[in-house]
Amino acid sequence: MDIKIFSVDGKEKSSVTLDEGVFSREVSEGTIYYAINNELANRRTGTASTKTRGEVRGSNAKPWRQKGTGNARSGDKKSPVWVGGGTIFGPKPRDYSYKMPRKMKRLAMKSILSLKVKDDSVKVVEDFTVDSGKTRDLVKILENLSGKEKTVLVLKDDDKMLRRAGKNIPWLRMLTYDKLSAHALFYGKKIVLLESAVKKLNDFYSDKQGESK
């Protein structure tokens, strides 16, 4: 399938072919769900922590003798039944991250790209950079392509000047073709692909490429 290529001014320039196995396949909603959950789980820091009775600061001495006071027997003030004591089975720092099967992750990315093409949310633009590294210069280009909607810009390679220009734009996320984010793509209102990135995506996510690895 063919899609139009736009200039940085937002004018139609030519066209490029999209691999139908990548951009026009049947959408797998299940893999998209698992891919997004996987990314969110991998971001979790898992820093919640409580202290057990062995970690709470305090004396190990009995608050009163075992018998004869009329009070309930007690071992020490760090007991979980006392205010300020330890916590039973409380949370401890943990790692929530896990690996997702490679084939499933590839299918999720292709499903999202296909879904965005179907929704007419994908736009291909000629290769460009921002030599000045200024945010206003990049914003001017993006306004011609996607307005100021939540945008994902997919690059062929990591462009330092583009990164510098885009780091202060809250509605922009920049990704390279081989390091896509399911969460960013799925929730992005507009997906802007550089012309060179399209060719790389065709090769990187093609079925033949997946079978060879």
Question: Would you give per-residue pLDDT tens digits along the chain (213 residues)?
Answer: 889 999 998 888 899 999 999 999 999 999 999 999 999 999 999 999 999 999 999 999 999 999 999 999 999 999 999 999 999 999 999 999 999 999 999 999 999 999 999 999 999 999 999 999 999 999 999 998 988 899 999 999 988 999 999 999 999 999 999 999 999 999 999 999 999 999 999 999 987 665 544
**In this structure, is residue 194 part of a structural domain?**
yes
Q: Which domain holds residue 53?
A: 45-95
Q: What is the pTM of this model?
A: 0.82
Same domain, 22 and 114: yes
Say if residue 138 is in the same domain as residue 170: yes
Both 77 and 112 in a single domain? no
> How many structural domains comprise the chain?
2
Each residue of 132-162: b (16+ CB within 10 Å) or e?
ebebeebbebbeebbeeeebbbbbbeebeeb
* Domain identity same for 69 and 165: no
**Count of C-beta atoms within a 10 Å radius of residue 210:** 15
Do 105 and 193 have their domain in common? yes
Residue 39, in any domain of the structure: no
In a domain, residue 9? The reply is: yes
CATH number of the domain within which 150 lies? 3.40.1370.10
**Together in a domain, 139 and 162:** yes
